[in-house]
Amino acid sequence: MKQSLIIALDFPDVIQTERFLSQFPSEKLALKVGMELFYQNGPSIISSIKERGHDVFLDLKLHDIPNTVKMAMAGLATLGADMVNVHAAGGQKMMEAAMEGLDKGTPAGKERPLCIAVTQLTSTSEEQMNKEQNISGSLTDSVLHYAKLTQQAGLDGVVCSTHEVKDIHHRIGRKFLTVTPGIRSAGGNVHDQTRIATPEQARSFGADAIVVGRAITASKDPLKAYLDMKAAWEGISC
Ligand SMILES: O=C(O)c1cc(=O)[nH]c(=O)n1[C@@H]1O[C@H](COP(=O)(O)O)[C@@H](O)[C@H]1O
């Protein structure tokens, strides 16, 4: 999943997902299954995507007491996803419990899925964070605080916006993964996101992976939108 453009499969059902994927005949893809698709279709969606040879980021953003997260992760570890996530706001003990659950649940001979933590959602602005979460100071400081906590808990990296990537790599190291949603082409519809960036900016800031949903899935020509985004991300001029 490293250095990937991860497509967010935010669809309600398997039929729409299959229709979308049928437009990518020979590409091996990195795909994100989130709450919308998983909650309405169940765990079999993961194996059916894996059977097609794609990588899967299972994005359920676990956030609960440590024991519940541990047991849930032990179950998720059996599904074959390549990466899963939690909310860093659940705390260091919760994140350690997530790792314990993943280690416990990963079948013998298989690799443990990567585990990353959401810092501040890319839809959150600094003003909103200050007012609604009652966290004072800058949004970057909050993201860095959560990133440090995530590292201390032994996770593989974080979900953040591209704007915090340089600081995270500087403070924590280049090997700590930064997975960045909120990606839009220049002038594209921002929707509900706040901390957005283009794929070119994500590359220049050193993001390890980008997550792209509606800029591809809601496009009239998803394959073209994907290829254009991928070229911009990889720094290839079309
Ligand atoms: O964990 C995530 O993937 C995530 C974290 C975050 O801070 N912001 C964020 O947008 N996401 C996910 O990334 C995707 C972004 O979708 P678009 O805004 O359509 O590109 C959605 O599936 C979100 O659930």
Q: pLDDT tens digits for 29-57? A: 999 999 999 999 999 999 999 999 999 99
- Number of domains making up the chain: 1
User: Average model confidence (pLDDT) for the chain?
Assistant: 96
Pocket residues: Cβ below 6 A from ligand 1:
8, 10, 34, 59, 61, 85, 118, 121-122, 159, 181-182, 191, 193, 211-215
Ligand 1 geometric centre to CA of 56 (Å): 15
- Give 184's contacts (C-beta < 8 A, 6+ positions apart): 190, 193, 196, 197, 198, 215
More confidently predicted of 122 and 2: 122
How many H helices and E strands in the chain?
Answer: 11, 8
Q: Which residue has tokens 């990588």?
A: 55
Active site residue 59: yes
When pLDDT is cut at 50, 70 and 90, the band that residue 23 belongs to is very high
Q: pLDDT tens digits for 164-205? A: 999 999 999 999 999 999 999 999 999 999 999 999 999 999
Ligand 1 geometric centre to CA of 181 (Å): 5
Ligand-binding annotation for 141, yes or no, is no
Write down the H helix ranges in 60-163: 66-76, 92-105, 126-132, 139-152
Ligand-binding annotation for 122, yes or no, is yes
- 215 is in which domain, residue-wise? 5-234
Instruction: Give the domain CATH number at 14.
Output: 3.20.20.70
d(CA 172, CA 153) in angstroms, rounded, equals 13
pLDDT value at position 236? 80
Percent of the chain at pLDDT above 70? Answer: 99
- Give 13's contacts (C-beta < 8 A, 6+ positions apart): 37, 40, 41
Write down the H helix ranges in the chain: 14-21, 35-41, 44-51, 66-76, 92-105, 126-132, 139-152, 165-172, 199-205, 214-217, 222-234
Dihedral sign for Cα atoms in the order 36, 37, 43, 46: negative
Does the pLDDT of residue 75 top 70, yes or no? yes
Q: What is the mean pLDDT of residues 3-24?
A: 95
Mutational pocket test of ligand 1: of 38, 211, 212, 229, the residue with most ligand atoms within 8 Å of the beta carbon: 211
pLDDT value at position 25? 76
Model-level pTM?
A: 0.97
pLDDT value at position 78? 98
Given the CA of residue 193, which atom of ligand 1 is nearest to it? 18
pLDDT value at position 26? 77
